[in-house]
């Protein structure tokens, strides 16, 4: 994300690039609901507002008993932005509501729970709301921004802070770069008292008692970052309240999928009900799948090559049905599973395999293709372009298989054959 004052203009691009790296390079992305992120914060000693979760309308009153009298925030728990401006399939508007009327809370829950919420980030069918978070409203005096993330340019974690919270941090970096402070962190020492105080003062926590609380919160954010193997922990806004508390109101957490083996309890929290079932299916075999609207199924190794493959299909007048990256160390059984997922999609009229064998052995891919084609009884055209390690042997394996496989010597030729096969 961002850097010290002299580098802060550049930092918005860095933030965007770091976020994109998380999305593209991981084989899967763990997404938690808002209340789950708040629970993680609370477990590590980070202050959040009191809240309760309702998954059954009859539990609303018992949930309210856990909260203090005052103003309540009622929020639908879905993995989509724009909830406040969204609408439900029953005509009810807004997935986020604020009220001082305790009796009105049940009505809000009734209109949201079990219904589908449509926002600018969902499909037109929307997402079913299975949980509602009821939280105590926070009386905010000031909003700030803090984020800890792994930054490749610094070869480690950095702490980014701004007194301009509650808004798009990239806009702040572009228009008011002096309001961005970035501090490289030592992975072994993290945020000590000196760093915590320096950043807290920069954020504007001047009252001695509040300053001490802000320092405490920052150090606990570092503890969370390390404990859960996070790639990013972003708090926006990080607020000062009228009763002189420092609270993390909203959090976005990105997780390191490579740490799943030691964070099994954390990854078990993921709610896959909102995901494309094909994406969930693919992730079980360490395949990265994203469904699209076209009719040419793509099986490719490497995210960059997969994106180039989709581009050249479009360039030749075709339409990709998916993004499917089998990775650099693909095994024969993974090739079979990839073929199965593609062949089960009724929209797919052609399968296009484009593999560059650097680490992966092209002969392994070829054997996997043949096994999958035979065992699945593949009835649609199959175009294969292989290049790299053992490609000569791989081409011979395909030629000797007796299967009606169309091969190509380059990417453009393969794409043309795939598009032509759809139109045939």
pLDDT reported for residue 112: 97
pLDDT of 285: 87
Mean pLDDT of 340-356: 92
Task: Report the distance separating Cα 186 and Cα 289, nearest Å.
Answer: 35
| Residue 5 buriedness (CB in 10 A; 0-12 / 13-18 / 19+) | middle
Per-residue model confidence (pLDDT) at position 274: 63
pTM for the model stands at: 0.68
pLDDT, averaged across the chain:
87
For residue 2, name the pLDDT band (cuts at 50, 70, 90): very low
**Binding-site residue positions for substrate:** 301, 358-360
The per-residue pLDDT for 16 is: 36
Residue 136: closest CA among 93, 108, 102, 86: 102
The percentage of residues in the chain with a pLDDT greater than 90, rounded to a whole number, is 64
Say what the pLDDT of residue 171 is.
85
Of 145, 217, 240, 279, which residue is the catalytic one? 145
Answer whether residue 364 shows pLDDT above 90. Answer: no
| Residue positions forming the annotated binding site | 49, 82-84, 138, 236, 250, 301, 358-360
- Say how far apart CA 228 and CA 367 lie, in whole Å: 40
234 a catalytic residue: yes
Domains delineated in the chain = 50-136 (3.30.1490.20), 140-268 (3.30.470.20), 277-423 (3.40.50.261)
Question: What is the rounded average pLDDT of the residues 88-112?
Answer: 95
Q: Which residues contact 186 (CB under 8 A, 6 or more apart)?
A: 156
Give the mean pLDDT of 321-336.
85
- The pLDDT of residue 6 is above 90: no
Residue ranges of the annotated binding site for Mg(2+) are 236, 250
Asked whether the beta carbons of 230 and 224 are under 8 A apart, the reply is yes
pLDDT of residue 348: 93
Asked if residue 12 has pLDDT above 90, the reply is: no
pLDDT of residue 9: 30
Give catalytic status of residue 145 as yes or no: yes
Given a cut of 90, whether residue 1 has pLDDT beyond it is no
337-366 mean pLDDT:
89
pLDDT tens column, 254-304 = 888 888 889 988 888 876 666 777 887 888 888 889 888 899 999 998 888
Given the residues 34, 108, 217, 234, the one annotated as active site:
234
The pLDDT of residue 358: 77
* Range 211-220 average pLDDT: 97
Model pLDDT, residue 130 = 93
Mean local confidence (pLDDT), 150-176: 90
């Amino acid at each position: 994300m961002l850097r010290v004052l002299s580098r802060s203009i550049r930092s918005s691009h860095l933030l965007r690039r770091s976020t994109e790296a998380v999305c593209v390079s991981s084989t899967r992305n763990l997404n938690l609901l808002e209340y789950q992120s708040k629970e993680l914060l609370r477990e590590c000693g980070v202050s959040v507002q009191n809240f309760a979760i309702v998954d059954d309308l009859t539990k609303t009153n018992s949930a309210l008993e856990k909260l203090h009298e005052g103003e309540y925030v009622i929020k639908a728990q879905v993995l989509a932005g724009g909830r406040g401006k969204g609408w439900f399939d029953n005509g009810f508007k807004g997935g986020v509501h604020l009220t001082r009327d305790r009796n009105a809370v049940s009505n809000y829950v009734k209109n949201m729970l079990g219904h589908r919420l449509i926002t600018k980030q969902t499909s037109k069918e929307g997402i079913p709301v299975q949980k509602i978070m009821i939280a105590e409203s926070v009386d905010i005096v000031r909003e700030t921004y803090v984020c800890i993330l792994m930054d490749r340019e610094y070869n480690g974690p950095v702490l980014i802070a701004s007194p301009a919270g509650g808004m798009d941090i990239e806009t702040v970096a572009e228009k008011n770069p002096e309001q961005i402070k970035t501090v490289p962190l030592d992975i072994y020492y993290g945020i000590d008292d000196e760093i915590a105080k320096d950043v807290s003062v920069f954020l504007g926590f001047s009252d001695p008692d509040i300053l001490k609380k802000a320092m405490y919160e920052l150090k606990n954010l570092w503890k969370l970052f390390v404990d859960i193997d996070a790639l990013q922990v972003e708090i926006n806004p990080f607020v000062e309240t009228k009763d002189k508390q420092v609270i993390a109101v909203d959090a976005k957490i990105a997780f390191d999928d490579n740490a799943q083996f030691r964070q099994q309890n954390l990854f078990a929290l993921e709610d896959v009900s909102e995901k494309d079932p094909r994406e969930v299916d693919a992730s079980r075999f360490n395949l990265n799948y994203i469904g699209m609207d076209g009719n040419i199924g793509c099986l490719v190794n490497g995210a960059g090559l997969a994106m180039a493959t989709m581009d050249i299909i479009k360039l030749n007048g075709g339409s990709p049905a998916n993004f499917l990256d089998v990775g650099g160390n693909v095994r024969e059984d993974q090739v079979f599973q990839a073929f199965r997922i593609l062949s089960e999609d009724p929209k797919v009229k052609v399968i296009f395999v484009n593999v560059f064998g650097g680490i992966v052995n092209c002969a392994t891919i070829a054997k996997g293709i043949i096994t999958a084609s035979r065992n699945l009884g593949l009835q649609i055209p199959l175009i294969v372009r292989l290049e790299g390690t053992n490609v000569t042997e791989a081409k011979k394996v395909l030629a000797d298989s007796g299967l009606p496989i169309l091969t190509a010597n380059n990417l453009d030729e393969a794409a043309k054959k795939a598009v032509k096969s759809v139109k045939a």
